[in-house]
Structure 1
Amino acid sequence: MRAAAAPPWWDPRGWRHGRSLASRVTLLTTFAVGLAVTVVALAVYVTVRVQMQSTLDESLLSRAEQAADSLALSRLSVPSWALGAADVRILFLTSDGSARSADELPALRLGRPELEVAAGLSASSVRTVDSGNERYRVVAVPSVPGEALVIAQSLAPQELVLAKLGVVMLLVGAAGVLAAGLAGWAVARNGLRPVRRLTTAAEEIARTERLVPLRVEGEDEIARLATAFNEMLVALAASRDRQRQLVADAGHELRTPLTSLRTNIDLLMQADRADRDGSALHLPPEARDELLEDVRAQAEELTTLVGDLVELAREEAPRQHIAPVDLAEVVDRAVARVRRRATDKAFDVETASWWVVGDAASLERAVTNLLDNAAKWGSEGGVVDVRLRDGLLVVDDDGPGIAEADRPHVFERFWRSPEARALPGSGLGLAIVGQIVARHAGTVEVSASPSGGARLAVQLPGTAVAPAEADEPGGPAPTAPAADPRADGGREPEGAEAPRGQDVDGAAQPAVRRRLASARRQGADRS
């Protein structure tokens, strides 16, 4: 596998490539401090330079004006010390361009600004002149008519001060940037120490699968992160325990029907060989049919268990066929299925038509799981009461009931009470009930039944009037009664497919509407 190439230098992500968080924090701190020091140093340098030049200009103008007040100044040789500075040069410039140095040094190269002052065209001039070896600040003021007094002061002392200031600021700035970088590195290393502990712990868990919690210190953001990490470890450990329990329960649950199924198939194969060989071992047709029915029932049980596992393993709801469904019909079909499995239980059923918009197969699975749970925990030879009125389905059993402390957990995935762990089962049935009921915008609750067992109550939104009545203002048209699917014990005919509704507004197709109208009339006859 080819390693990812490093980003180019112009990519903003390039500086992060291959660098640790501590090094990035150090670099950012150093860069920020260096930028701040540079800006401050430039501001100080420019301010000092401007201030020194302004002060020098004011001083030169003041001294030049005072010297120009002397009427005899133009004819005297004025030493530079008389103006208060040894680095000052004095020149007399006439309007015709001739210049004379008062200090008897070579004259500076003067220009147009000074000539304009000598000619009386300008009150004064201030500028910098480069003599080749040295730079001067030159000031010109009028002295007598047709002549200007020019004073020039060397900028060497000022430039020396600015150079020293620049060196000092450079050294101080470099020291500040270095100190900021070291401080940023120390803070990053110390502040990220808990993060490194988290990283080490996560790597250790990934390598050894040992869920060891971290020690939480303080109450800052890092402490909150460590607390959240520990909570995640607890949740992960609980999830592992539930998965292990699920595998154990599923294996136990699958082993029993598989063993029985294999035994029945072996008997059928032996009987078939005996019939071909003419052996005395002969299996009567009634016994063969009974074995085949057992094989079918066991296959259905395996299918249901695998379906339960797949149903809960999915993160998203499977695609459903939405249509108006008579919940009473769903309950009757589920009762018929459970009766075949729980032959030692009696079922007292009272239902009234209640139409919901939903998936008939999912609703039947939910009701079947409720009845299976009641039959499993009910007393031997006991009665399971099933009532459906106004969208409230109540299933009561006469078993030991559910402890009040366990009731909040009965609809959780993979959860089983301590009493249930010794019995076959995966703990998925009621979790599937809660999931399906929630998909249909309903609620499910658990409480105690009047007989001391468990009561499971499901409330689904719907109506007592069949949707067909709303579609047909004059009421449902007379049609031939549809065959009651409960007549053969609740099973659909071979090859039959549950009616599929439209996905828009829950409207049924015409064939479904006729069946719903017939079912509504049958529900009215029952009530």
Structure 2
Amino acid sequence: METRCRRRTTTDRAVTRYMELCTRAALNSAERGRAFARQELIEAAVVGGLGLAVMGLSLGWAVRGARRISRRLELLRDSADLLTTRQLPDVMARLSAGEEVNAAAEAPPLADAEAEPDEIGQVGRSFNAARLAAVEAAVRQATLRRGLFAVLLSIARRNQTLVHRQLKLVDTLERRTDDPEALEQLFRIDHLTTRMRRHAENLIILSGAAPGRRWRRPVPVADVVSSAVSEIEDYARVEVPPMDRVGIAADAVADVVHLVAELLENATVFSPPHTRVTLRTGRERGGFVLRIDDRGPGLGSGPLHEAHRTLGHPDDFDPSRHDRLGLYVVGRLAARHAIEVTLHESPYGGTTAAVLLPGGVLADLEAEDPEGPEVPEETEGVSSLPCLP
């Protein structure tokens, strides 16, 4: 019995010690597990933080790069808009005014656009080259245009001189001839030569120069209109009413004659040959107005708008629009004296050309010269000839 009790006690101790060992082992394992878990968490946190930092830096660099690319592209876009909306039109306007333009100074390279060797930089270099080429092309075109106008002006001046000599010769023959048939032929030659003079003056006006005829004193508007009628082919179709005794300033007589003649020519050309072209005159808005009514088919809204644009921008002369040469001439003459020329539907179903001569074009008439109508002064190598019938 005593022996059995000792065995149980020994067994209990062994079990107790075993339980302690197991408990201690379990606690050690748990402690090591927690330490390992903490280490893993720390490492995961460090790696995750580094990843987030790298991602943030990458995103920042991407945003910065995108903004830089966007700024460079915006620079190219703004430069292209500036070229098309301001630089080229300004250069063309200055060239049309006769100014000298330095293409390299007007189109300096955009350093920011081609600073980098990437694709955008290549586009920037191409844009700089294209912009310079566009300005140089505009300068070359203007130079060629001025040269062409200079040639036309030279030819027109020579023709004008010959025409004036011919008119002077015809006038001399008319004065010396009494034969009615010969006089009739001479009058026809005189009329054709007068029309030739107007066409030569058209080239001079389109070249930017003055025709050459000049008066010393104001001329009655009735004589001015009569002279204009005599310069067109179908002068017999024009009905000229009695007019107020209004004078045209001496420095505007030649241009007003030419302007009215061009409008009368258009009215007769673009209306049936059996119809009449009527003039209406009167004082209006502090000036004197001439209305030329034809009985043609009229103009639609589109052609009428284009005609007004031509009259309002005569310096934008397009040689290919040969059907509007008369309107370009009218526009330049009108701009020279602030004359207002408008086109609208005629009460007769055709087109009415209204010419408003401002107060600056009008002048008081002097007492009538007993020696007859004034002869325009000779200018720029042009013979002095009467220009009024």
Select the structure with the greater relative contact order (CA < 8 A; seq sep ≥ 6).
2
Radius of gyration: which is bigger? 1
Higher percent of residues as strand: 1
Higher percent of residues as helix: 2
What is the TM-score when the length of structure 2 is the normalising length?
Answer: 0.46
